[in-house]
Amino acid sequence: MLTRLIGALAPRRTVHAHCDIPCGVYDPQQARIEAESCYKIIQKYNDSSDELFRARCIVVKEERADLAKHHIDVMWHDYFKPEHVEKFADLHETCWKASKQGSKVKQTVDINEAQKLLDLIDRIDHMWRETGGSTATRMQQLEPVGGAASDVAASAVKG
């Protein structure tokens, strides 16, 4: 009775009054790195005959594919703007396919599917570059961290 009453009164859907706190930092490489992990994991899975190792591959691949999907969705929902859609007619289609391909990679150990995911992410990457790319959405790294560290190492060797 109570459930029915609440059911009758309860709202049918949600209206959002949210803040995204858009930090403005976007880079499809985040998705690509996770997708590369999936690709390599599938290779290692297929090369191995160790059942335990193969089981771990499946688990980790699913995690990575999920992260790739998340990063694709962030590009789609948060980065791309209406004017980008006007510029690239296939933007929605590509993001949608990429997200779906992420699900496919979760399900399969077919390396071709992992390659398809990489290709779709690269298409998103292309659209990101053409709409501002890293100059618009990444902080400028004044001094590459790796470079500075190796300089220290080099001087230590010399010293």
Partner 1 sequence: MGHRNRGAAALALAGAAVLVRAPGGTAIRRVRRSWDWRMAVEGGSMLPALRPGDWLLVDPHGFDQGRPAAGDLVVVPDPRLTERWLVKRVWAVDPDGRLDVRGDSPAASTDSRTFGAVDPATIVGRPWLRYWPIRRGGRVG
- Give the binding site for partner 1 (CB under 8 A): 1-2, 5-6, 9-22, 77-78, 80-82
Integer Cα distance of 116 and 69 in angstroms: 13
Integer Cα distance of 36 and 53 in angstroms: 19
Length of the chain: 159
Instruction: Provide, rounded to whole angstroms, the least separation between the CB of residue 123 and partner 1.
Output: 19
| Closer Cβ to partner 1, 50 or 83, answer by number | 83
| Closer Cβ to partner 1, 4 or 158, answer by number | 4
The amino acid sitting at 128 is W
Instruction: Provide, rounded to whole angstroms, the least separation between the CB of residue 12 and partner 1.
Output: 5
Tokens of 73: 């969705």
Instruction: Provide, rounded to whole angstroms, the least separation between the CB of residue 128 and partner 1.
Output: 15
Instruction: Provide, rounded to whole angstroms, the least separation between the CB of residue 82 and partner 1.
Output: 6
- The residue with tokens 């297929």 is 46
Integer Cα distance of 58 and 152 in angstroms: 40
Integer Cα distance of 112 and 64 in angstroms: 17
Integer Cα distance of 96 and 68 in angstroms: 13
| Closer Cβ to partner 1, 14 or 141, answer by number | 14
| Closer Cβ to partner 1, 9 or 142, answer by number | 9
